[in-house]
Amino acid sequence: MTFSQAQRYLLAPQVSHIRPGLGRIQALLHRLGDPQRQLRVIHIAGTNGKGSTAEMIRSMLTAGGYRAGLFSSPAVTGLCGTVTVDGVPIGKRALAALTAEIAQARQQAEIEATSFEMQTALALLYFARQRTDVCVIECGMGGQGDATNVFPAPLCGVITPVALDHTDFLGGTLAEIARQKAGILKAPGAAVVAPGQPEEVLAVIYERAAEQGIPVYMPAPPAPEGPGAFRFAGQRYRLPLLGQMQQYNAATALQVMDCLALRGFGTTPAQRRRGLAAVRMPCRQEIVSRRPWILLDGAHNPHNTAALADTLRQLGKAPYTLVFGMLADKDTEACCRLLAPLCGTAVCCTPPSSRALAAVELAAQMKRAGVARVLTYRDPHRALAAARRMSPAGPLVITGSLYLCAGLRPKLAANDTPAGEK
């Protein structure tokens, strides 16, 4: 099987639909030798901040000398980038070979599997064969019924900020969604909860932890100390990521490192500082160019969009030209209201997804939110070209969907200046 064939197989439309439940993935993993039972895992669920928190933990573990795997989605920089060891993506040959094994196992046992289930199986099989010391595994959507929830006892279960999202699958209230997320918490591993959670979310998490008989740790909020710097637990850290939310994610990641130290994975303050300073997160409040000034952020729900709006106000470059595209199953009206006060021109487009909201519908919502100048292009690349013509020096913000940002990112000029510096 070639890499191109493997990509097509893993992303095949007939198996890519969302189907919560663990029966299929457990059957597939068993056929592959149950690699999940060979791994020591930090398991992360939540609505926002999962990817950033996961990468921070992985980077600090690598800086501490551990062989650390990371499985994270969606594929912002390509399918290989979702499966890494010490920050190095899985190679194309390895991905193709493992995909061939998965295809054979499915065929022999007549196992149905979704795209995400197959990608999960591939990641766990790769980590087991790479003999990782510890793996950081990010849930795809939920928790209890998520394909990643196959570990008997993670070293640590982490719950990042919980908000209303994927309500068709996870429930229509914060408590219902939190109940799904908290399904990853299992004895004897500890639970780490991001600070600032709503009371109804905390109530569910503490109830689940009590049922499992495990401790819950919640870090104190970090103390900002200028652009890209903060203080936590008596130590000063620098983080090359924009936004206060990322500092909160870092506090959660640092609390996880304290828990891991109790389980034999110790790291020094210097190693933790080095790990956080090395973190890079594509499409998360990422400044990809300074001349012209362009920021990418896959903010796709009101919680993330509010964090982006806070950052844009702090940067003080308004009014911004916006390249904007969202999925139809998100609270698009709320996101429009949050961004409208900062937006001079909105160029609306349709992200490359079957769940995308049509550009004309998003444009109508931006007009209702008070943006006077709104343009519509179905194709994101044409939308970007139009925005750059209108604002050749920036400031330009591309947001609304990770699918949109990931699709446009390769066309934009890279800039090596750390994003945390103005």
CA 225 to chain centre: 25
Which of 226, 250, 277 finishes a domain?
A: 277
Residue 45 has pLDDT above 50, yes or no: yes
Number of alpha helices (DSSP H) and beta strands (DSSP E) in the chain? 15, 17
The rounded distance, in Å, linking the Cα atoms of 40 and 90 is 19
Q: Among 18-27, 160-169, 218-227, 375-384, where is mean pLDDT lowest?
A: 160-169
- Asked whether residue 417 is assigned to any structural domain, the reply reads no
Please identify which residue in the block is written with the tokens 């595994």: 137
Domain containing residue 403: 286-411
- Asked whether residue 420 is assigned to any structural domain, the reply reads no
340 close to 373: Cβ distance less than 8 angstroms:
no
Q: Among 229-233, 240-244, 349-353, where is mean pLDDT lowest?
A: 240-244
Residue 27 maps to which CATH number? 3.40.1190.10
Plot region of 293 (φ>0 → left; ψ -120 to 50 → alpha; else → beta): beta
- Asked whether residue 71 is assigned to any structural domain, the reply reads yes
Residue 59 has pLDDT above 70, yes or no: yes
- Asked whether residue 260 is assigned to any structural domain, the reply reads yes
Residue 70 has pLDDT above 90, yes or no: yes
- Asked whether residue 39 is assigned to any structural domain, the reply reads yes
In tens, the pLDDT along 90-134 reads 999 999 999 999 999 999 999 989 999 999 999 999 999 999 999
In tens, the pLDDT along 169-209 reads 777 899 999 999 999 999 999 999 999 999 999 999 999 99
In tens, the pLDDT along 348-381 reads 999 998 889 999 999 999 999 999 999 999 999 9
Overall domain count for the chain: 2
- The pLDDT value given to residue 342: 96
Please compute the mean of the pLDDT values over residues 411-422 and round it to a whole number.
48
Mean pLDDT of the chain: 92
138 and 66 assigned to the same domain: yes
Plot region of 314 (φ>0 → left; ψ -120 to 50 → alpha; else → beta): alpha
The rounded distance, in Å, linking the Cα atoms of 189 and 212 is 9
Helix (H) or strand (E) holding 17: none
117 and 233 assigned to the same domain: yes
- Asked whether residue 322 is assigned to any structural domain, the reply reads yes
67 and 191 assigned to the same domain: yes
**Whole-prediction pTM:** 0.90
Q: Which residues contact 354 (CB under 8 A, 6 or more apart)?
A: none
204 and 351 assigned to the same domain: no
In tens, the pLDDT along 321-352 reads 999 999 998 999 999 999 999 999 999 999 99
Which of 225, 258, 277 finishes a domain?
A: 277
Residue 296 maps to which CATH number? 3.90.190.20
The rounded distance, in Å, linking the Cα atoms of 14 and 35 is 26
273 and 233 assigned to the same domain: yes
